[in-house]
Amino acid sequence: MSRSADYAVELKDIFFSYGSNSILRGVNLEVGYGEAVAIMGRSGSGKTTLLKIIAGLLRPEKGYVKVLGHYLQAGGLNSVKGRIAYIPQTLGLIEGESALYNVLLARAPRKPLRFITGLWGGDDVEGAVEALRLVGLNGVGRRRVETLSGGEKQRVAIARAIFQGAVLLLADEPISNLDLDTAEALVNMMVSLKLRGLSVISVMHDRQLALKYFDRVYVLDGGVLREAG
């Protein structure tokens, strides 16, 4: 195995700008399999932009992105399809639908007909219920997501990533607007996905939590990442 295959994510000298507004100016990052890494930085520093580049949603102007052994520039999302989960700041849940629906969504790419008709098999539903149970959401499967609390919604998003069988979890400030205890419990849960073999890259605002739970903490500043101690 080549050395670079040992990384879940490898960024080399990434440059990105929106028009003339240069955001990333030479970002380097290596995240191993089963590692959890936090990214901090002031608002507007480019954290979300960086996550989107790793997710294959944006293309860097310069540098290369290697995710799960594939170079993303060439094939876009296709080569790693379904193996990355991206939890955006707004969580990406479908309101008006149940928690279970939102978790099952992760299987829609493989079973499009079942998804469109809503006729899921027993094993699909069992798996989704099990994922909800793993994040501590017993018996809320039928609840509409907009009736759940902020922390519960975030756990639904994590359950979806688990059910998806994602290898890489990208989370954008998953604990904003939560009280400290709930936030800590969530971070703990997210980071413990490492035990299931996931790599986790999460944008964090709380420095203490980041340092306590993540293997490494980076700060994005002036368009480059540097490790925080």
**Site residues (CB under 6 A) for ligand ATP?**
18, 21, 23, 41, 43-49
Say which residues have a Cβ less than 8 Å from residue 150's Cβ, sequence separation at least 6: 177, 178
Of 132, 143, 137, 146, residue with least CA distance to 95: 146
Residue 48 interacting with Mg ion (CB under 5 A): yes
Q: What is the rounded (10 degree) CA torsion for 178, 182, 187, 190?
A: -110
Rg (alpha carbons) of the chain, rounded to whole number: 17
Whether 85 and 57 have beta carbons less than 8 Å apart is answered as: no
Query: Quick one: 49 or 164, whose CB is closer to ligand ATP?
Result: 49
Coil, strand or helix: which one is 93?
coil
- The greatest distance separating any two alpha carbons of the chain, rounded to the nearest whole angstrom, comes to 52
Whether 184 and 209 have beta carbons less than 8 Å apart is answered as: yes
- Site for another protein, rule CB under 8 A: 52, 55-57, 77, 81-82, 84-97, 101, 105-106, 108-109, 112, 115-116, 160, 164, 170
The nearest distance, CB 111 to another protein, in angstroms, is 9
* Binding window for Mg ion (CB under 5 A); candidates: 20-28, 42-50, 53-61, 184-192: 42-50
Residue 49 interacting with Mg ion (CB under 5 A): no
The site partner of 101 among ligand ATP, Mg ion, another protein, none (C-beta below 5 to 8 Å per kind) is another protein
Of 152, 122, 125, residue with least CA distance to 137: 152
The nearest distance, CB 121 to another protein, in angstroms, is 16
The site partner of 148 among Mg ion, another protein, ligand ATP, none (C-beta below 5 to 8 Å per kind) is none
* Binding window for Mg ion (CB under 5 A); candidates: 24-32, 41-49, 129-137, 157-165: 41-49
Query: Quick one: 39 or 91, whose CB is closer to another protein?
Result: 91
